[in-house]
């Protein structure tokens, strides 16, 4: 630890503590795929990555809350009432399902809709390229990238010492489709957030995500997806 006479870039306030308590409450009974790790570990990991790559307190709060709509059925109105419109908008921007619908969806529905949901989300990210760099939706890109870093690096760790096919058995899509999704996400993020935005931390985060993707999906070793679902665009792999 070092001490800067000018202090840290920002100091946590009660808002970050409130987001942590609320996220812990909302996700209390959830755990990560492939094990019994409490889901709050993922949310803390994403928030840590956001801070590491230059995010501010509101972005860190959005990181802690980014799955609250999709996995807990929290409404945008409730998020706005608790944390204000900026954080709520960032959480919505990080959600690949329509907000304010009953959630969580059952596994069969999510598997069937997986490809179309992901394709729609890629387009949603690309559309952010037209927004101002200070808009909450544009600032949510750092949160989304850090979410994908945490997920991808976790899968890299899980894949070591086991058959590549086994990694994806607990997911809604197999290896070829997962690779399509990750690489399409990376391309969409790079299109929506050029490094000229003045956030060097975001550029570093995108490079880190690309390294994790290349490690997770080495050439010639990606198992074919056998899950039955449709893709919204011509993506290759299963449809």
**Which residues lie below 8 Å from residue 123, measured CB to CB, with a gap of 6+?**
188
Q: What is the pLDDT of residue 102?
A: 53
Q: Mean pLDDT, to the nearest integer, of 80-109? A: 80
**Helix residue ranges, H only, the chain:** 14-26, 40-52, 57-65, 68-72, 76-83, 85-93, 107-112, 114-126, 136-159, 164-167, 175-192, 200-216
> What are the sequence ranges of the domains in the chain?
14-216
Respond yes or no: is residue 158 known to be catalytic. no
C-alpha distances out from residue 223 to 107, 211, 213, Å: 21, 19, 15
Q: Is the pLDDT of residue 145 over 90?
A: yes
Confidence of residue 15 (pLDDT cuts 50, 70, 90): very high
- State how far the Cα of 223 lies from the Cα of 30, in Å rounded to an integer: 28
Q: What is the pLDDT of residue 106?
A: 56
- CA dihedral 19→24→26→30, nearest 10 degrees, is 140
More confident residue, 218 or 60: 60
Domain 14-216 -> CATH class: mainly alpha
Q: What is the pLDDT of residue 56?
A: 95
The percent of residues above 70 in pLDDT, for the chain, comes to: 81
Choose the catalytic residue: 67, 70, 96, 147. 70
Respond yes or no: is residue 234 known to be catalytic. no
- State how far the Cα of 102 lies from the Cα of 71, in Å rounded to an integer: 10
Asked whether 97 and 105 are in contact (CB, 8 A), the reply is yes
Choose the catalytic residue: 4, 57, 67, 71. 71
Q: Mean pLDDT, to the nearest integer, of 120-140? A: 90
Q: What is the pLDDT of residue 167?
A: 79
pLDDT of 175-204, one tens digit each?
A: 888 888 999 999 999 998 765 456 779 999
Q: What is the pLDDT of residue 2?
A: 62
With the C-alpha atoms ordered 213, 139, 68, 106, is the resulting torsion angle positive or negative? Answer: negative
Burial of 234 (0-12, 13-18, 19+ CB in 10 A): exposed
Lowest-pLDDT range of 53-57, 89-93, 142-146, 158-162: 158-162
The percent of residues above 90 in pLDDT, for the chain, comes to: 54
Q: Mean pLDDT, to the nearest integer, of 64-71? A: 95
Confidence of residue 239 (pLDDT cuts 50, 70, 90): very low
């Amino acid at each position: 630890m070092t001490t800067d006479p000018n202090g840290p870039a920002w100091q946590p306030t009660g808002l970050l503590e409130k987001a942590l308590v609320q996220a812990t409450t909302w996700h209390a009974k959830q755990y990560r795929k492939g094990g019994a790790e409490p889901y709050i570990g993922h949310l803390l990991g994403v928030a840590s990555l956001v801070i590491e790559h230059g995010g501010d307190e509101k972005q860190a709060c959005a990181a802690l809350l980014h799955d609250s709509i999709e996995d807990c059925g929290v409404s945008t109105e409730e998020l706005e009432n608790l944390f204000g419109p900026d954080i709520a908008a960032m959480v919505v921007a990080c959600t690949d399902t329509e907000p304010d619908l009953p959630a969580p969806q059952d596994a069969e529905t999510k598997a069937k809709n997986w490809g179309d949901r992901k394709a729609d989300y890629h387009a949603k990210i690309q559309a952010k390229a037209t927004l101002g760099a200070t808009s909450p939706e544009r600032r949510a890109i750092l949160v989304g990238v850090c979410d994908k870093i945490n997920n991808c690096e976790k899968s890299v760790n899980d894949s070591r010492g086991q058959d590549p096919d086994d990694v994806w058995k607990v997911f809604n899509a197999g290896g070829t489709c997962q690779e399509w999704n990750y690489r399409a996400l990376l391309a969409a993020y790079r299109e929506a957030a050029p490094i000229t935005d003045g956030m060097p931390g975001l550029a570093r985060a995108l490079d880190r995500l690309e390294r994790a993707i290349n490690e997770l999906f080495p050439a010639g070793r990606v198992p074919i997806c056998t899950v039955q679902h449709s893709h919204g665009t011509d993506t290759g792999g299963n449809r």
